[in-house]
Amino acid sequence: MIIRPATATDHDAIWTLLHDVFRAGETYAVDPAITKADALDYWVKASAATYVAEADGRIVGTYYIKTNQPGGGAHICNCGYIVSPAARGQGLARQMCEASQERARAMGYRAMQFNFVLSSNAGAVRLWHKLGFTTVGTIPDAFDHPKVGMVDAYVMHKALAG
Amino acid sequence: MIIRPATATDHDAIWTLLHDVFRAGETYAVDPAITKADALDYWVKASAATYVAEADGRIVGTYYIKTNQPGGGAHICNCGYIVSPAARGQGLARQMCEASQERARAMGYRAMQFNFVLSSNAGAVRLWHKLGFTTVGTIPDAFDHPKVGMVDAYVMHKALAG
């Protein structure tokens, strides 16, 4: 398994990953009806860097790194991660998150922030805590989950050591 | 003093207000070098509604209402407010915030969230608390303030009663 920068030839494979997650509408605050073009804008064009995880020539995961706030907030990055259904349970989210922290540090970011981690996404919450992220905020009833109704969202933060 | 929806003929006056605040870089996470076109995109085009406060035929304040997160987060709005230097200390920020809550409620939003209230902006923090907002998050060293260095940013939230 290698993690490498995404190229234009990866866009269809990235869209396949985004499509399933965004259409389900259970983890990202994205319009479930988002178009392919808008989804790729969100994941690739609006990001400072986008990576893919490749195993046996197939794209099994992707993540982005983007500046979370411009101006005086530009030293903090935001990242998003997606693992293909077939590749779940093999530690790929952890690998991608660790790789993204190393990469973000090299890009000059001093901290990483997740703006909207749903309380219903227990696996993600547990993993981010394990990887050293702190919950610095809880937005009540922040997300209308299609299966469980209103759930809170956490703001999570980790300083990136120099 | 009246608060009314902004029209295209207000854009120059809105830009004058935005210009001073954004160039100073002390309160909004916006690139201080932002262009007029990008600033108006941020304040007007990306918003669900933009209002101006007018006194004696002059624009003395402005605010926007936008959907804070798409998809499952679309029931929460975000707002931003600017008062002209000449009109400060007269309760205009309070008036605009109260008007925005009423308007947001009428537009169907169920809560209002400020994503990035700087701890150095003590007047704003005090006013939002007075108006019923709760600090639901604190992002450490979130903003590099040109005069005081790194300051925290608060996430503030208020449910809008039906």
pLDDT in tens, A77-88: 999 999 999 999
What pLDDT score was predicted for residue A20? 95
Q: How far apart are CA B150 and CA B125, in angstroms?
A: 17
Q: Per the CB < 8 Å rule, is A113 touching B30?
A: no
Give the residue from B29, B99, B92 showing the smallest Cα distance to B64.
B99
Average pLDDT over chain A reads 97
**A108 Ramachandran zone, left/alpha/beta (phi>0; psi -120 to 50):** left
- Domain containing residue B49: CATH number: 3.40.630.30
B140 → closest Cβ in A22, A32, A136? A136
Interface predicted TM-score (ipTM): 0.94
DSSP A32-51: TT--HHHHHIIIIITSSEEE
Q: Is A23 on the interface with B (CB under 8 A)?
A: no
What pLDDT score was predicted for residue A109? 98
Q: How far apart are CA B99 and CA B51, in angstroms?
A: 10
Nearest C-alpha in B relative to A145: B72
3-state secondary structure of B114: strand
Q: Is A73 on the interface with B (CB under 8 A)?
A: yes
What pLDDT score was predicted for residue B161? 82
Do A74 and A95 form a contact (C-beta atoms < 8 A)?
no
What pLDDT score was predicted for residue B159? 98
| Domain that residue A106 falls in | 2-159
Q: How many domains does chain B have?
A: 1
* A159: chain B residues, CB-CB within 8 Å: 140-141
Nearest C-alpha in A relative to B67: A29
**A92-126 per-position pLDDT tens digit:** 999 999 999 999 999 999 999 999 999 999 999 99
In this predicted structure, the answer to whether residue A161 has a pLDDT above a threshold of 90 is no
A69 → closest Cβ in B29, B73, B110? B29
Q: What is the pTM of this model?
A: 0.95
Of all helices (H) and strands (E), which one includes residue B106?
Answer: helix B92-106
Q: Per the CB < 8 Å rule, is B69 touching A141?
A: no
3-state secondary structure of B91: coil
What pLDDT score was predicted for residue A110? 98
Full pLDDT tens readout for chain B, 162 residues: 899 999 999 999 999 999 999 999 999 999 999 999 999 999 999 999 999 999 999 999 999 999 999 999 999 999 999 999 999 999 999 999 999 999 999 999 999 999 999 999 999 999 999 999 999 999 999 999 999 999 999 999 999 986
Half-sphere exposure of B39 (CA within 13 A, CB side): 24
Q: Per the CB < 8 Å rule, is A141 touching B111?
A: yes
Q: Per the CB < 8 Å rule, is A136 touching B137?
A: yes
Q: Is A108 on the interface with B (CB under 8 A)?
A: no
Helical pair B92-106 and B122-130, crossing angle rounded to 10 deg: 50
Q: Is B77 on the interface with A (CB under 8 A)?
A: no
Neighbours of B152 (CB within 10 A): 16
CB burial of B43-69 (b: ≥16 within 10 Å; e: otherwise) equals: bbeebebbbbbbeeeebbbbbbbbbbb
Q: Is A149 on the interface with B (CB under 8 A)?
A: no
How confident is the model over A50-56, as a mean pLDDT?
97
Q: Is B139 on the interface with A (CB under 8 A)?
A: yes
In this predicted structure, the answer to whether residue A162 has a pLDDT above a threshold of 90 is no
Give the residue from A42, A89, A88 showing the smallest Cα distance to A64.
A42
Residue B81's Cβ-count burial label (10 Å; 0-12, 13-18, 19+) is buried
